[in-house]
Amino acid sequence: MKPFVMTALAATLAASPAVAQDNSIAVLREQLNQLQARIEQMEKERQATPRATAAAPANVVTGGDTPGSFKLPGSDTSVQISGYLKLDAIYNRDQDLGDTLFVEGLSTSGGTQDGKFRLHARESRLVVKTSAPNGLRTHLEADFFGASGNEVFSNSDNFRIRHAYGELGGFLAGQTWSNFMHFAAYPATVDFDGPVGVSFLRQAQLRYTFPVGPGSLSVAAENPEGTGFAGAKDSAPDFTARYSWNGANSAIEAATVVRRLAYDSAAGDDATMGYGLLLAGNIGLGPATKLMGGVVWGDGIGRYLYAASGASDGSSGIGAAYIDAAGKLKTIEAYGFNVAASHEWTKKFSSSLSYGQVRGDRPANLFPTSTEKLESIHFSHFYQVADPVTLGFEISRAAKKLQNGDSAHALRFQASAKYAF
């Protein structure tokens, strides 16, 4: 009877409410522990496995790889569209030099039109850039500073190419700024052209850029163009080289150009070499002020020095060369320089003061009405109303002196409104 009693007692205790409750809690606790372990395991698996991104439909425009760009359907090329619209208001007090401060256009003979007011939007610009996964980049840029249209009805102006080039692995092919040009000392002006005495030129070229020390070296073969003599013949590209270095608060550039000048006409033919040197730089004086300056010198440099080109008969301008009485082509020595200072008064308001000068040594006895010296000064102010909107105001003065001593000057007031996109 004793085993039977023990068995019955165990069954009775197991069936009692207290014992049954303890067993249920233990089972529930075990189940919760198992569930928690499973959740933790699933979270580890989720973090270790990248989330699948749903593929975009084939006919949808998507974001590009560069800021502000997009990709067209079925393409891996990123496209970026930018530019600005600009209105210029110009008042010429002494002489009408056109839509830019064209210093060479000053007349020393009197009888010029003064007190002229002009509004135009020709500087408005459109830029299209692309970049591809293989490193290919392209740049297409145009504005409306082509030939002027009719002001009576439409005030239209021709669309013209500024830049059109591609870059891949250090190579550049197409039209852009000349390799013989200093960017480190080019000041901001309201006037489209800026000061004389700088190297300012865009043309077709083949260029290669590679790192050298802390900077980079660029070599290029560029489109030739002889100026200042009749029968000019372009028989070889112009060759340029440029070294540039940019620091945290300063920059420096040095460049050279070598060119072949030639002519071929009924009067005869001849050829000679021209060359030029450039040095420019800038330095920041604190976070708000920057000083900059550059000098350009050459013998036969011609149009590589801004405002130093000349008429084909040698009657005006400076030019690159001239033909002497014996039919020989003689190069013309010329030099120019510019200095500027800019200052940010506030985050929205800044000013700059710049001066430039160009001189040439075309023989005065042969070309008495050709240019001896050009000067320009710009006092410019910019106020950023909003992120894409900038207002500008500028007072500028141009001066010109001929080999025979005749001279002229002009004062200009200019205001602008620029809307970037």
Q: DSSP string spanning 262-276?
A: EEEETTEEEEEEEEE
Phi, psi dihedral angles at 240 (to 5 degrees): -130, 155
Domains for the chain: give ranges and CATH numbers: 2-48 (no CATH), 84-123+167-420 (2.40.160.10)
Pairing of strands 321-323, 333-344: unpaired
Structure confidence by residue, pLDDT tens digits, 189-215:
999 999 999 999 999 999 999 999 999
Per-residue pLDDT, 19: 46
State CA 30 to chain mean position distance.
71
What pLDDT does residue 115 have?
A: 87
Query: Nearest Cα to 381, choosing from 250, 191, 193?
Result: 191
Backbone dihedral region of 197: left (phi > 0), alpha (psi from -120 to 50 degrees) or beta?
A: left
Q: How far apart are CA 47 and CA 173, in angstroms?
A: 47
The per-residue b/e assignment along 208-224, b for 16 or more CB within 10 angstroms, e otherwise, is ebeeeeebeebebbbeb
pLDDT in tens, 351-396: 999 999 999 998 999 999 999 999 999 999 999 999 899 999 999 9
pLDDT classification of 55: cutoffs 50, 70, 90: low
Residue type present at position 116: K
DSSP assignment letter at 232 = B
What is the per-residue pLDDT for 93? Answer: 92
Cα 8 from Cα 13, distance rounded (Å): 9
Q: Which two tokens stand for residue 337?
A: 């320089």
Q: Beta-carbon neighbour count of residue 321 at 10 Å?
A: 28
DSSP 77: -
- The pTM score is 0.83
Q: Which residues contact 29 (CB under 8 A, 6 or more apart)?
A: none
Mean pLDDT estimate for the chain: 89
CA dihedral 9, 10, 14, 18 (to 10 degrees): 60
Q: What is the pLDDT of residue 277?
A: 98
Q: Let me know: does 105 contact 113? Beta carbons within 8 Å.
A: no
With cut-offs at 50, 70 and 90, classify the pLDDT of residue 26.
Answer: confident
Q: How far is 205 from 224, CA to CA, in rounded Å?
A: 10
Instruction: Count other C-beta atoms under 10 Å from residue 305's C-beta.
Output: 28
Q: Rounded to whole angstroms, how far apart are CA atoms 378 and 118?
A: 19
Mean predicted confidence (pLDDT) in 22-45: 77
Is the pLDDT assigned to residue 17 strictly greater than 60?
A: no
At 347, which amino acid appears?
Answer: K
Residue 323 host element (H or E): strand 321-323
Residue whose C-alpha is closest to residue 300's, from 265, 327, 268, 329: 329
